[in-house]
Homo-oligomer: A and B are copies of this chain.
Amino acid sequence: MGRIFKERTSVDEALRLFLESISPLRHTEEVPLEACAGRVLAETIVSGRDVPHYRRAAMDGYSVRASDTPGASPANPVLLQLSDSIEEGTTMWIHTGAALPEGADAVVMVEDTVTVGDMVEIRAQVYPGRNVGQVGEDIKREELIFKECHFLRPCDAAVLASLGLDRVKVFRKPVIAVIPTGDELISREITREVPPPGMVLETNGLMATLYVEKWRGVSRCTGIVPDRPESIRKAVETNKDADMILILGGTSVGKRDHAPEVVESMGKLLVHGVGIIPGKPTALGIIDRTPVVCLPGYPVAGLVALYFFVRPGIRKLGSIPEVPEIVLRKRLAAKISSKIGYVNFIRVVFEGDRVRPLMGAGAGVLSSVARADGYVLVPEHVEGYEEGQEVDVFLIE
């Protein structure tokens, strides 16, 4: 009870300290191209072949020797003989993508020809290489295609396939241990009935697990751990092989809040108390080389800690490039009051062109997130926003 937050650290500074303590994983694994989308390349890809590997027609039409077409025009066509090889005065039909026959060096597009029996009228002059895709036009042998850490998209998988690859080396997904703590928790595996007064169904573990997986980590959720330092210590010890540990609940300064002290006793507590509302009791630390996030048990505060620390942490562990967030500019349908000295995470709902803040909802009211379409962040030094003011709205994913 005499305990207080170590100090209050700003969100930016807390994130900086946390990310500084995290090194990207170097462990790799091979995956088939069918499973490579959304993964991060752990090797440099240099092409072993030319694509295309043959001279191909870029158009449907007739393959010719360009030197056979001087001055050809609709008024003054050149007549060539249909044949099964290309010599002086002969031509062959060719479709888009087909290999240019030996001897040919250009394609006259079909629109510039007229076929008369076994003769073809060529109605346009072509220069050598006209309508021909050269060897290596798409990709040259020895060409650098992707650097290490490239984030693989479906179109990239097709490029890798065209090089004759069937597997690529990618970074292993970060394994995130999720440890729900709290004497008041009942596992949903035991009952889904209304629990006795003072007891609640454990749901933060499920939320954390689904966000971890959405953000391209692998969640390893443990059973519920009681509010005792020894129990929490044991659970952390058991999960020290994970790439990050999340301790859910017990992060504040009450009698039953032991998570930060456990982190401090086993490693280094970097931050306890962050300048964000909700989410203030969040603690960040490192045990050996494993980053640890202590998330508040109140679900909205826990969500904020997931967004602001766990998501960037997973990104750094997995070398996953940051994607710009979707931000909408909207006017406020009502004013927002905000506490100075804290970033305020304000849930909002769309209301026509505007957004309406859900102001009454406390950190314990997860349904306020379910009802929300997005959130607005009010910076530390701002007291609030007026009705009608334009703000940045982030979507809740």
Q: Chain B: which residue is nearest A182 at the CB level?
A: B97
Other-chain residue from B188, B324, B326, B368 in contact with A161 (beta carbon distance below 8 A) = B188
User: In the assembled complex, which residues on chain B have CB atoms less than 8 Å from the CB atom of A54?
Assistant: 197-198
Do A158 and B207 have beta carbons less than 8 Å apart? yes
Which residue of A33, A98, A164, A198 has the most chain B CB atoms within 10 A of its CB atom? A198
Do A159 and B366 have beta carbons less than 8 Å apart? yes
Interface positions of A from 351 to 378, Cβ below 8 Å from B: 362, 364-370
Total copies of this chain within the assembly: 2
CA gap between A378 and B66 in the complex, in Å: 35
Contacts A99-B197, A254-B96, A395-B323; A366 near B155 (Cβ below 8 A) = yes
Interface positions of A from 1 to 60, Cβ below 8 Å from B: 1, 33-34, 37-38, 49, 51-54, 56, 58, 60
Kindly list 8 other residue pairs between chains A and B, CB separation below 8 angstroms, not including A60-B255, A145-B370, A324-B395: A49-B194, A93-B255, A95-B254, A97-B297, A138-B364, A159-B367, A166-B192, A325-B326
Please, could you name 7 A-B residue pairs with CB atoms under 8 Å apart, sorted by A?
A34-B209, A53-B197, A99-B197, A138-B366, A155-B207, A158-B366, A166-B192
Chain A residues packing against B (C-beta within 8 Å): 1, 33-34, 37-38, 49, 51-54, 56, 58, 60, 93, 95-99, 110, 133, 137-139, 145-146, 153-159, 161-162, 164-166, 184, 188, 192-195, 197-198, 200-201, 203-204, 206-207, 209-211, 213-214, 252, 254-256, 297, 299, 303, 323-326, 328, 362, 364-370, 395-397
